[in-house]
Homo-oligomer: A and B are copies of this chain.
Amino acid sequence: MKFWLYYWPSIPGRGEFIRLALEAAQADYIDVGRNQGSAAVAERVHRGDHFAPPILDTEHESLSHVAHILAWIAGPLDLAPSGEREFRRMIQLQLTLTDFVAEIHDTHHPLCTSLYYEEQQAAARTAARHFRADRLPTFLDYFEQTLRDNPFGDDWLVGDRCTTLDLSLFQVVRGLKYAFPNAMTRFDTPRLADLTARVAHRRGIRGYLNSDRCIAFNNDGVFRHYPELDEQT
């Protein structure tokens, strides 16, 4: 199966969750934004069948929303758990990650996306302080416990093999370490740390992370490093 990924070319953003799955499976895909520029992505979005990127096309179908795309490609890419119940649980936990990512985004853009960060910095400081104190530990603890409570062992979040969900959580932890380096040192989540290391060492992922296809985090994406939003040391 051949894939066309439509996402903004200059940020990892939400597109990176799809890219990691495609790269882990060494799938045949074209990163349209990187190849043809952001106008090609905008043109694709304006066709109207999707509300927003990332969009993933095959020759036969076209899907948007990270959790939905991943549920669709996990099987074909051999990144799904074996059982149907675990598959449903994978989708469910991916939707919890979706919520987590939205809350991370809103720390630097709490008021709206149409104002620059600099125009809502005071609100962002308040939002980030509450996020670091309440939501960040709640979400991290939840995923740490999910690993601990997996009846198949604590290597992966669901079942006994690596799924698209593990790749996504890896990306969220990386993004959080970029965005909130001080706050992230506070947490004792050994299973999450092991999972992150395990994903980083997979062949497809290791090669990708060292390639020029992998876009570094920067302050235009979901995960942004503004020192004033991090914990002060």
Contact = CB atoms under 8 A, between A and B. Distances in A.
A149 B48 contact: yes
Contacts of A145: 48
Chain A interface SS verdict (over half)? helix
A123 B110 contact: yes
B123 A111 contact: yes
Interface of A: 48-51, 61, 63-65, 67-68, 72, 85, 88, 91-92, 95-96, 99, 102, 106, 110-115, 120, 123, 126-127, 130-131, 134-135, 139, 142, 145, 149
A92 B91 CA distance: 13
B130 A112 contact: yes
Nearest to A63: B92
Contacts of A64: 92
B65 A96 contact: yes
B110 A91 contact: no
Ordered nearest first, which 9 A-B pairs have the shortest CB separation? A112-B130, A65-B95, A51-B96, A111-B127, A110-B110, A123-B123, A111-B126, A68-B92, A114-B134
A161 to B, nearest CB: 20
Contact of A68 (B48, B95, B113, B114): B95
Given A102-B102, A115-B130, A127-B112, A61 B48 contact: no
28 contacts: A48-B145, A48-B149, A51-B99, A51-B139, A51-B142, A61-B85, A61-B88, A63-B88, A64-B92, A65-B96, A67-B95, A68-B92, A72-B88, A99-B102, A102-B102, A106-B106, A110-B111, A110-B127, A111-B123, A111-B127, A112-B127, A112-B131, A112-B134, A112-B135, A114-B130, A114-B134, A123-B123, A123-B126
